Structures are given as structure tokens and as C-alpha cells.
Amino acid sequence: MSFQEELNKAIDKVVNNYIEKISNKFDLDINELRQTWKNDVINTKSKDTNNYNSMLKPELIEECKKRKLSTKGTKNDLINILKKSDSNTIEEPSEKKVQSTLKNKIEIDVPTIAIRKNVHGNHEDPKTGFVFSTETKKVKGKQNEDGTIEPLTKEDINVCNRFKYDYELPNNLEKNVNLKYEKIDELDEDDEDDEDDLVEEDDLDEEDDLDEEEDDLDDDDDDDDDDVIEDDD
């Protein structure tokens, strides 16, 4: 086996491995990729050979100039020069086509977010109308037609979460959150007061019970004294 054949075999092996990885990663048909590779190589060779043979020498010279190749020699020399140039770059058309297919596949899977400067000089996402801060890179409000920026609402924050945008929480929403916490604290304090009242009531009930027991004991003592007096009589 010649060195050229070994080189071609090694190239084919590398290309097939690469095509297989691309097919698995981006869910593309592996046979279609291989056929695209083979067709590009075959078509390029046959097209270039036919064109060069039918071209005049001045045309061949002009083609060599475009590729920054040597323009010296006979017509056959120029054809050989161009063919040699083609053999060095013959993989490029196939590679570009595969890259284009992959690019289209990736663009379909990953939606692009276009944030651009609007007529008011603010960085806006046209799809949502959100305005981004140039300092924090976060959503700071919503663009109005008159140029003013409207504070974010709860619904806007839900949209930010859906698009995974970082945002600056407006002061009015922060106040509402604080008020909610204050109300919860107040409720807790009321519950504690109610518990204290219940404890005090229980203590009072126990004291009343003790007083009643003492009264009963006193009554019993009085009865005993009366009995003793009667016996003496």
C-alpha cells in the first residue's frame, strides 16, 4: 500500500468517526451525512476536471490569479496547478455544508434573545418590553411608549422567571413583602396574648377552687365544735 493510499484511509477513518459523533450529538441521519460528504467530493472533482479542460489558457491564468497560484507554463501545466490546489482544499465544501446543517439544528434547539438599544436609549428586549440595567445586567422595568420605564409587576416577575432573567425587585413589592411579614408577627403576638389570658384564667379558677375547699373545711370545723358542746351538756 502506497503512502497516498494509507493517508486516504486514515482520513476516511477520521471523517467517519467525526460524522458518527455529529450524528449522535445532534440527532442527524448518519447515512445522509456520509452521502453528503461523498457527493461533495465526487461532484467537485468531476466538475473541476471538465471545466478546466474546456477553459482557454487566459481563463486558466485568471483562475490561477484568483487563487494566488503560479500563472507560468502551458495550458496543461495550469490545469495541473489548479487540480493540485483543488486536492488541497477539496474537503472544504463538505465541511461547510455539515457546519451549516449543524448551525441550523442548533439555532432551532436554542432560541435567541435579541436585546438591543431602543429609540429611548434603553437596552430593551423587544419580545417582552423589559429594560435591562447596563450596570447590573438585570431587568429593572418595562418600557413605555412615552419613554418612561414602568416598575415591574408580579406578572412581569413571573415572565422573568420563565425566561430566566435576573431582575431588580421594585420598592413597592419589597414593601408588600415586609408588610406581610409584619402581619405574621402581629398574629403571633396576638396568639401569645391569648395564651397568657388562658393561663391567667386557669390560675383564677384554681384559686376559686382552693377558696371553696377552705370554706368547706371551716364549715366542718364549726360542726365539730357544736357537737363537742352538745356532748358537754
Strands 123-125, 116-117: pairing kind: antiparallel
Last residue of a domain, one of 109, 127, 149: 109
Residue range 41-75, pLDDT digits in tens: 544 454 455 578 888 888 888 888 988 888 888 98
Examine the domain organization and report whether 186 and 155 are in the same domain. no
160 and 176 together in one domain = no
Identify whether residues 8 and 104 lie together within a single domain: yes
pLDDT exceeds cutoff 70 at 139: yes
Predicted local distance difference test score (pLDDT) of residue 122: 92
Q: Are residues 92 and 34 in the same domain?
A: yes
The three-class DSSP label of residue 137 is coil
Same domain membership, residue 151 and residue 221: no
pTM of the model: 0.32
Q: What mean pLDDT, rounded, does the chain reach?
A: 73
Distances (CA, A) of 116 to 132, 134, 157, 163, 174: 10, 12, 20, 17, 29
Count of Cβ atoms closer than 10 Å to residue 219 Cβ: 10
Confidence label for 21 from pLDDT (cuts 50, 70 and 90): confident
Q: Is residue 126 located within the same domain as residue 202?
A: no
Same domain, 134 and 180: no
Which pLDDT score, from 0 to 100, does residue 11 have?
84
For residue 205, the enclosing domain spans 171-233
Residue range 98-125: average pLDDT? 70
**Are the CB atoms for 64 and 81 separated by under 8 Å?**
yes
Do residues 76 and 52 both lie within one domain? yes
Give the pLDDT confidence of 213-231 residue by residue, as tens digits.
555 555 555 555 554 445 4
Q: For 23, left (φ over 0), alpha (ψ -120 to 50), or beta?
A: alpha
DSSP 167: B
110 band by pLDDT with thresholds 50, 70 and 90: very low
